[in-house]
């Protein structure tokens, strides 16, 4: 399949793997890229620019296909060394950067000068237009269904994607709730040039996470996510568990007086305990409603091949058949 996204990134299939904290290691990115999609290393999971440079080098040892690095701009006091990370990305010869969180304007000139394509992930049409205006090459439009941070507008993809298509000139991928060939065809129909998946890629053989995490995704339904940190205007969609229920109880009790410190035990530093050690009740971790569509743990190659075959069958048989 050829779309503006496959052309822009030089990839075989219009399928991206979004940056994921403590999931987007070299193994994950290389597996997706080797399967014809675009794998993405999560920059901030690496503790320093030197570690990121090492992770990029490891990924290059595992694939000769294009892959990207995610740079998430966080609303935190102690800012990570973004200039150092950008340097590691440029010197590592990375071809694509996925930015997310705040406006990526401060790093954009350096990335563009190095010939790197930038796709900014955003949850609204206005932020997508801003990304286009500042010179991003593409956007990843992340609907309310998504795992991670859906923003505060709560617009699901059935509305958000056609709205983005009406306004944008640069290509975009649909993100949030994407799992299979049906998702891809729907995304293309709504105006996207591909799709970005997060949660679905965690339940794959190569995802470098504890097996408990993969089994939890297979067991979960579309009813099992919760929105946390809404009172802090830092909403995150997570898989429910004991820690999440405790966190939500604090939000109910403390109301608008709640501060980050109140919920730090449930959210700060919990990712390695959950994703690497498999302590499934250790805290809140991002997960999309798409968990309800995840029933197995294929390899990335099997998953992407299946998506492409299903998408083609839907277009050539189901949809074309309706016109006969
Ligand atoms: C466990 C997990 C961690 C994530 N961490 C990040 C992150 O660090 N930076 C980022 O931009 N997006 C992050 N995301 C969001 C994904 O890149 C992607 O936008 C989202 O998962 C899409 O929705 P889906 O899960 O329904 O496919 C994360 C998602 C998950 C599930």
Please state the pTM of the whole predicted model. 0.98
C-beta of residue 176 within 8 angstroms of C-beta of residue 143: yes
Stated as kind and residue range, the H or E segment containing 228 is strand 225-228
User: What is the whole-number distance in angstroms between the Cα of residue 22 and the centre of ligand 1?
Assistant: 11
User: What is the whole-number distance in angstroms between the Cα of residue 319 and the centre of ligand 1?
Assistant: 31
User: What is the whole-number distance in angstroms between the Cα of residue 176 and the centre of ligand 1?
Assistant: 9
Residues touching ligand 1 (Cβ under 6 Å) are 18-21, 23, 42, 70, 72, 100, 121, 142, 145-148, 175-178, 196-200, 285-288, 290
Stated as kind and residue range, the H or E segment containing 242 is helix 242-254
User: What is the whole-number distance in angstroms between the Cα of residue 122 and the centre of ligand 1?
Assistant: 12
Q: How big is the chain by its Cα radius of gyration, in Å? A: 19
pLDDT tens series, the chain, 324 aa: 999 999 999 999 999 999 999 999 999 999 999 999 999 999 999 999 999 999 999 999 999 999 999 999 987 767 899 999 999 999 999 999 999 999 999 999 999 999 999 999 999 999 999 999 999 999 999 999 999 999 999 999 999 999 999 999 999 999 999 999 999 999 999 999 999 999 999 999 999 999 999 999 999 999 999 999 999 999 999 999 999 999 999 999 999 999 999 999 999 999 999 999 999 999 999 999 999 999 999 999 999 999 999 999 999 999 999 998
316: DSSP letter = I
Residues 132-164: tens digit of each pLDDT: 999 999 999 999 999 999 999 999 999 999 999
How far apart CA 238 and CA 217 sit, in angstroms, is 11
For residue 135, with 0-12 CB atoms within 10 Å meaning exposed, 13-18 middle and 19 or more buried, which class applies?
A: middle
How far apart CA 45 and CA 75 sit, in angstroms, is 16
DSSP string, 253-290: HHGGG--HHHHHHHHTT-HIIIIIT--TTSS--B--GG
Q: Which of 17, 18, 52, 143 to probe ligand 1 with, by most ligand atoms within 8 A of CB?
A: 18
Residues 164-175: tens digit of each pLDDT: 999 999 999 999
DSSP lists the bridge partners of residue 140 as 121, 173
């Amino acid at each position: 399949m050829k779309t503006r996204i496959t052309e822009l990134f030089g990839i075989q299939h219009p399928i991206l793997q979004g940056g994921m904290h403590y999931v987007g290691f070299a193994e994950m990115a290389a597996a997706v890229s080797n399967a014809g999609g675009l794998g993405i290393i999560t920059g901030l999971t690496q503790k320093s620019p030197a570690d990121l440079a090492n992770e990029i080098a490891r990924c290059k040892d595992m694939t000769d296909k294009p892959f990207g690095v995610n740079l998430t701009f966080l609303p935190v006091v102690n800012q990570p060394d973004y200039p150092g990370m950008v340097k590691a990305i440029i010197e590592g010869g990375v071809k694509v950067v996925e930015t997310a969180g705040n406006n990526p304007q401060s790093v954009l000139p350096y990335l563009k000068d190095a010939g790197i394509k930038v796709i900014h992930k955003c949850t609204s049409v206005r932020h997508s237009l801003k990304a286009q205006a500042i010179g991003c090459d593409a956007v990843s439009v992340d609907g309310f269904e998504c795992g991670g941070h859906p923003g505060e507008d709560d617009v699901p993809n059935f509305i958000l994607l056609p709205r983005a298509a009406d306004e944008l000139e640069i290509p975009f991928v649909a993100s949030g709730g994407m799992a299979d060939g049906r998702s891809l065809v729907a995304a293309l129909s709504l105006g996207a040039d591909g799709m970005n998946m997060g949660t679905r890629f965690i339940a794959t053989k190569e995802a470098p996470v504890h097996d408990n995490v993969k089994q939890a995704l297979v067991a979960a339904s579309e009813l099992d996510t919760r929105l946390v940190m809404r009172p802090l205007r830092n909403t995150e969609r997570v898989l429910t568990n004991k820690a999440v229920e405790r966190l939500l109880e604090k939000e109910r009790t403390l109301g608008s007086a709640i501060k980050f410190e109140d919920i730090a035990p449930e959210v700060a530093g919990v990712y390695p305990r959950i994703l690497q050690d498999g302590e499934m009740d250790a805290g809140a971790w991002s997960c999309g409603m798409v968990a309800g569509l995840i029933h197995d743990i294929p390899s990335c190659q099997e998953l992407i091949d299946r998506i492409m075959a299903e998408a083609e069958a839907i277009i050539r048989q189901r949809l074309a058949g309706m016109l006969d």
